Amino acid sequence: MFRHRQSDSDKKRATEGGRLSQTAGADVPAGERHNLAGTPATGGTDAGTVFQFDPTALVRGIVYHLTDEKIATDVSRDSVRRTVERLAVGNVCPAIDRGRWADMSNRERLQWLLAESQTTHSLLFGRTAVLLPASSS
């Protein structure tokens, strides 16, 4: 099972003011900070005003918000792997304006991440979430 826990290296980076923490701010979980190192964001927008998610960061954000909002206690590792693979094959890398992200509640962020990744979740006995492709209808 995949549990969201801050590793010792993440804690160390956070206390030392790691590059991602300094660039993206404390309002965004570490796995959701991408394309902020001065590279152009999609559409030629200023990279400092946009959060862009690669498949791994997108799923990491979903797992974070599912557990942080106490919707699930953990997330199936196999479903995480399959979802990352599905998004990578589909080259899914959504972006969102920093201001819009900052204005969202954690629930709204979760809903945005799920919608952009065309993913849904199901809860199993014991409050373990399984990530699934959303139906295309």
Q: Are 92 and 55 in contact (CB under 8 A)?
A: yes
Q: Are 130 and 122 in contact (CB under 8 A)?
A: yes
Q: Is residue 16 part of a domain?
A: yes
* Tokens coding 75: 């997330």
Q: Is residue 53 part of a domain?
A: yes
Q: Is residue 3 part of a domain?
A: no
Q: Output the pTM of the full model.
A: 0.67
* Tokens coding 16: 């030392």
Q: What is the pLDDT of residues 11-68, one digit of tens each?
A: 433 333 332 222 233 343 444 434 433 333 444 445 579 999 999 999 999 999 999 9
Distance set, CA 106 to CA 20, 45, 70 (Å): 20, 25, 11
User: What is the DSSP-derived secondary structure letter of residue 120?
Assistant: E
pLDDT score for 55: 97
* Tokens coding 17: 């003011």
| pLDDT above 70 for 84 | yes
pLDDT score for 135: 83
In total, how many domains does the chain have? 1
| 38 vs 41: CA distance, rounded Å | 9
Q: Is residue 1 part of a domain?
A: no
Domain ranges, residue 14: 8-133
Q: Is residue 86 part of a domain?
A: yes
Q: What is the pLDDT of residues 99-116, one digit of tens each?
A: 999 999 999 999 999 999
